[in-house]
């Protein structure tokens, strides 16, 4: 079942297009990796899918009963955010804010959801720690737990391994793959094409040579072969 359908979508800012005529479908359980050159519109597309901005043209439809409060988002971190003075518990629990409505407090159910996702990410021993004292890999686990509090159907991830050391990056890729295997649909931006393609079911390549299709189709496509080789991987199927 398609949960996101884009038809001839043009995205950009202030009337200036950065990517045009994008057409692709994300079905329940897919793992879509968005790749492409810098400035090709990857982050802009994610913000458009989050309805933080409107497409300049075309149509985006959400199906499968997908509600706005069922989409989790893990953005790129800024240096200021990495230094945020809050506990792990406070940050993860804040992912439940969309469920609170006008209530000025979190319900028992929302607290249980936060606890479950903290355990899911293997960070139970960090709940009382200050976020800014954690390593990069630990911080990303905290933010992923927060995103999971907001999502039970779809996760949007913008460069989730950016700035991580190789082991932490591998651990993050493994966590995301496990979540996908559990039934959560994933849309992820990555500059690490060769590594990301190992986990994806589908690839959307933005830029001069746009492509959308399965991972197998991408690795056998001229654009895919070129960029995978450039990124250090020759056999990602």
Model confidence at 235, in pLDDT bands (50, 70, 90)?
Answer: very low
The answer to the question of residue 33 being in a domain is: no
Under DSSP, the state recorded for 124 is: G
- What domain range includes position 106? 78-152
Residue 216 CA to residue 202 CA, distance in Å, equals: 8
Question: CA distances (Å), 70 to each of 73, 112, 145, 181, 196, in order?
Answer: 10, 17, 14, 18, 24
Asked if 63 contacts 3 with a C-beta cutoff of 8 angstroms, the reply is yes
Structure tokens at 92: 């993860």
* CA atoms of 36 and 48, how far apart (whole Å): 17
8 A C-beta contact, residue 40 and residue 209: no
CA dihedral (147, 6, 46, 232) in degrees, to 10, reads: 100
Q: In the structure encoding, which two tokens stand for residue 49, read together?
A: 């899918």
Considering the domain boundaries, does residue 60 fall inside one? no
The winner for highest mean pLDDT among 9-23, 95-109, 212-226 is 9-23
pLDDT tens readout for residues 167-210: 999 999 999 999 999 999 999 998 888 777 888 999 999 988 89
Bridge-based pairing of strands 2-13 and 16-27 is: antiparallel
Q: In this structure, what token pair is assigned to residue 2?
A: 């398609």
Asked whether the beta carbons of 132 and 87 are under 8 A apart, the reply is: no
Is 43 within a domain?
no
| pTM, full prediction | 0.88
Question: Is 194 contained in some domain?
Answer: no
Place of tokens 């469920």: 99
- In sequence order, what are the residues at sequence separation of 6 or more whose Cβ sits closer than 8 angstroms to the Cβ of residue 227? 35, 193, 205
Q: Classify residue 23: in a domain, yes or no.
A: no
Residue range 117-144, pLDDT digits in tens: 999 999 999 999 999 999 999 999 999 9
For the chain, what's the residue count? 237
Confidence grade of residue 232 (pLDDT, cut at 50, 70, 90): low
Task: Report residue 91 as tokens.
Answer: 């940050």
Q: Kindly list the distances between the CA atom of residue 158 and the CA atoms of 46, 47, 149, in Å, as whole numbers in the listed order.
A: 8, 10, 17
Q: Is residue 173 part of a domain?
A: no
Domain presence at residue 103: yes
Average pLDDT estimate for 36-51: 91
Whether residue 25 lies inside any domain: the answer is no
Give the β-pairing of 57-62 and 2-13: antiparallel
Calpha distance 234→143 (Å, rounded): 32
b/e per residue 104-128 (b: at least 16 CB within 10 A):
eebeeebeebbbebbebbebeebbe
What is the number of structural domains in the chain? 1
């Amino acid at each position: 079942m398609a949960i996101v359908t884009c038809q001839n979508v043009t995205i950009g800012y202030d009337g200036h297009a950065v990517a045009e005529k994008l057409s692709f479908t994300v079905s329940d359980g897919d793992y879509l990796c968005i790749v492409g050159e810098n400035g090709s519109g990857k982050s802009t597309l994610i913000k458009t899918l989050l309805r933080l901005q409107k497409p300049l043209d075309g149509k985006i439809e959400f199906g499968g009963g997908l509600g706005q409060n069922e989409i989790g988002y893990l953005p790129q971190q800024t240096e200021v955010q990495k230094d945020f003075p809050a506990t792990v518990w406070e940050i993860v629990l804040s992912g439940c804010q969309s469920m609170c409505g006008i209530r000025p407090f979190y319900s028992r159910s929302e607290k249980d959801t936060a606890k479950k996702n903290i355990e899911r990410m293997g960070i139970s021993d960090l709940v009382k720690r200050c976020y800014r004292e954690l390593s990069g890999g630990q911080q990303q686990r905290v933010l992923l737990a927060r995103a999971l509090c907001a999502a039970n159907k779809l996760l949007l991830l913008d460069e989730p391994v950016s700035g991580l050391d190789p082991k932490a990056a591998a651990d993050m890729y493994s966590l995301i793959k496990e979540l996908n295997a559990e039934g959560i649909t994933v849309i992820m931006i990555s500059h690490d094409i060769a590594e990301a393609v190992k986990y994806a079911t589908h690839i959307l390549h933005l830029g001069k040579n746009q492509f959308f299709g399965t991972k197998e189709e991408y690795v056998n496509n001229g654009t895919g072969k070129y960029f995978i080789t450039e990124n250090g991987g020759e056999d990602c199927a």
